[in-house]
Amino acid sequence: MVVFGQFLEVLIGGLLAGVLYSLVALGFVLIFKASGVFNFAQGAMVLLAGLALVRSLDFMVARGVPVWAAIVLGLVFAGLIMAISAWLIERFVVGPLVNQDGLTLFMSTIGATFIIEGAAQLIFGSDVYPLRLFPTDAWFLFESAFPGGILVNKLDVWGGLIAGILVTGLAIFFQKTKTGRALRAVADDHAAAQSVGIPISWIWFVVWLVAGLVALVAATVWGTKLGVQFSITFLALKALPVLIIGGFTSVPGAIVGGLLIGAGEKLAEVYLGPFIGGGIEYWFAYVLALAVLLARPQGLFGERIIERI
Amino acid sequence: MKADVKPKPVIAGQGVDAGEVLLAVQNVSLSFGGVRAIRNVSFDIRKGEIRAIIGPNGAGKTSMLNVINGFYHPQEGVITYKGRQRSAMRPHIAASQGIARTFQNVALFKGMSTLDNIMTGRTLKMRRGLLAHALHFGPAKREEIRHRAAVEHIIDFLEIAHIRKAPVGKLPYGLQKRVELGRALAMEPELLLLDEPMAGMNLEEKQDMSRFILTVRDAFNTTIALIEHDMGVVMDLSDRVVVLDYGQKIADGTPAEVQGNQAVIDAYLGVAH
């Protein structure tokens, strides 16, 4: 019973941690679906959103604004910052590159990354700022069935809930709205999309705005977990294997990829660690991604790559 | 001192009668760096006609279409559409004013089904907002159904009902061309630009496509400008033909007039210099 209890605890903890990876991966999927661009700047956007939120919160709380009001205003402020940066990115980075190759756009997002990282820290500061939006203590479940119960982090549960709501909303947005269809059209072919009257600049603004808001959501959860700091940008590296496993074009894929990696790396750490010497968490995701690449290059949920020759 | 008053646009003609000029291109020049793709070309397209643009490879035909639907902005010249002079215009604005087109190398949304591809042609006609569509209630639902009906009508007309749900990337070339025509028709355009609608087709497919083009003009009263290399098709379909060579207009007239024109014969067969 103890063995099974431990297994459950590791599995649940892993799955919930995986959801947090998915949160970051979602931002990538959105941009990729709508513009065919791998957005290198997603990690930097999480940092920007987190800094804008935590610094405005601290500012207001220090001046005696009630905490609940400060949180609401802080979220609005950070959302506004993401809207402005979405507009700037569309106007000055990707907008002038309509009808260019995906690789050209990818390079431009690398440039945007450095500017966003630099500007964010210049404006909001570069220390580690603690964020307390969600409870960080733990529950102990099923204490009657398992000695000591099963430890579940409350923050991880919050993260899971938020990710669930986000995915439902995004799935409806992409599948059921004409804007969603326009987004998919733009991703496939810029010129054709323009010719049927889809205004690309507006669509791209919407895409970057939504990706910015997803970054803000990721920042609230990850910021509470790690504190808002520069290393939050490295989350992007953990999102990459999630995307490879789930498929770059699939919202559900980002979730399943995150779950597989989260659960896989924790289970491997606990059960394989003692035999091959620990530290598995750090490389497990990448090896798993490599295996998927060999078997199914488009990812588990990616659209089949169709190429007529 | 009074500021210069710009002359108001002449007749903002919404309804252009059959036989009147729908679109006029005057003294248009377009160059890319040192390459002069179009040199001082003028011609017009009249309401309800099928107007062919022909010429050897590299004559500037596709560039001309790109100028008309706003992908390219000419350095010189004036374009008048429905009686109104047009300044540099973005393609999605041209689309909203009733100019639809197909592409030389088929530009479809490969991952989407035939149905979804043609539905994108209705983008401009859909009025309900994002939220209404997301919730899929009342008016938004009725709107979606109304547009689906229009699209199904087009699908029946083009005889592509059997591939309605198929991802277009998997379809043979001839069918892709048809889907692309369907997407343009879904916009209910006033002016339809077709860039080599029959390239790479066999005889039977060409006959089908010719039939569709003629029906579109006769049944929907759509004005059509098309680029085509198959001279048989051009002579059969078109009312008037404009011939370009090295970016310049070398002939303009009925198919019979153009066929007998010495400059055209020289351009196609080459001439000893």
Q: Quickly state the pLDDT bin for A280 (edges 50, 70, 90).
A: confident
Q: Quickly state the pLDDT bin for A309 (edges 50, 70, 90).
A: low
Q: Measured between CB atoms, which of B71, B96, B128 is closest to A197?
A: B96
Better-scored residue on pLDDT, B130 or B49: B49
For the stretch B239-263, pLDDT in tens is 999 999 988 999 899 988 888 888 8
Give the domain B21-107+188-269 fold: Rossmann fold (3.40.50)
Residues of chain B that touch chain A, judged by Cβ-Cβ distance less than 8 Å = 69, 71, 90-92, 95-96, 100-101, 103, 107-112, 116, 119-121, 123-124, 126, 128, 130, 133-134, 136, 167, 169-170, 173, 183-184, 186-187
Mean pLDDT of all residues in A7-28: 85
DSSP structure string for A249-297: T-HHHHHHHHHHHHHHHHHIIIIIHHHHTS-THHHHHHHHHHHHHHH-T
Least CA distance to A179: which residue of chain B? B130
What is the structure's pLDDT at B10?
40
For the stretch A48-63, pLDDT in tens is 999 999 999 999 989 9
Q: How many angstroms separate the CA atoms of A60 and A76, rounded?
A: 13
The answer to whether A189 faces chain B, any CB pair under 8 Å, is yes
Within 164-183 of A, beta carbons closer than 8 Å to B belong to: 172-173, 176-179, 181-182
CA distance readout (Å), B93 to A199, A214, B8, B96, B246: 8, 31, 20, 5, 29
Q: How many angstroms separate the CA atoms of A33 and A257, rounded?
A: 17
Domain ranges (residues) in chain B: 21-107+188-269
Query: Hey, are the CB atoms on A188 and B121 less than 8 Å from each other?
Result: no
Name the average pLDDT for chain B.
84
Amino acid at B30: L
Query: Hey, are the CB atoms on A306 and B121 less than 8 Å from each other?
Result: no
pLDDT surpasses 60 at B65: yes
Q: What is the ipTM of this complex?
A: 0.75
Least CA distance to B68: which residue of chain A? A195
Closest CA–CA distance from residue A182 to any residue of chain B (Å): 7
Please give the helix or strand (H or E) that residue A223 lies within, else none.
helix A200-226
Nearest to A203 by CA among A236, A246, A173, A242: A173
Q: Collect all residues of chain B within an 8 Å Cβ-Cβ radius of residue A189.
A: 107-110
For the stretch B91-122, pLDDT in tens is 888 888 899 999 988 888 887 889 889 988 88
Q: Quickly state the pLDDT bin for B8 (edges 50, 70, 90).
A: very low
| Residue B143 backbone phi and psi in degrees, to 5 | -60, -45
Nearest to A242 by CA among A19, A31, A37: A19
Q: How many angstroms separate the CA atoms of B171 and A59, rounded?
A: 59
Pairing of strands B35-46, B21-32: antiparallel
Query: Hey, are the CB atoms on A185 and B121 less than 8 Å from each other?
Result: no
For the stretch A71-91, pLDDT in tens is 999 999 999 999 999 999 989
Q: How many angstroms separate the CA atoms of A237 and A242, rounded?
A: 9
Mean pLDDT of all residues in B203-218: 91
What is the structure's pLDDT at A253?
87
Q: How many angstroms separate the CA atoms of B92 and B159, rounded?
A: 28
Closest CA–CA distance from residue A102 to any residue of chain B (Å): 16
Name the average pLDDT for chain A.
85
What is the structure's pLDDT at A232?
85
What is the structure's pLDDT at B130?
52
Which of these ranges, A153-157, A180-184, B124-128, has the smallest mean pLDDT?
A: B124-128
Q: Quickly state the pLDDT bin for A195 (edges 50, 70, 90).
A: confident
Within 198-227 of A, beta carbons closer than 8 Å to B belong to: 198-200
Nearest to A183 by CA among A172, A174, A171, A194: A174
Query: Hey, are the CB atoms on B134 and A177 less than 8 Å from each other?
Result: yes
Closest CA–CA distance from residue A170 to any residue of chain B (Å): 10
Q: Measured between CB atoms, which of B111, B116, B183 is closest to A303?
A: B111
Tokens of A218: 């990721």
Q: Which domains does chain A have, with CATH numbers?
A: 2-295 (1.10.3470)
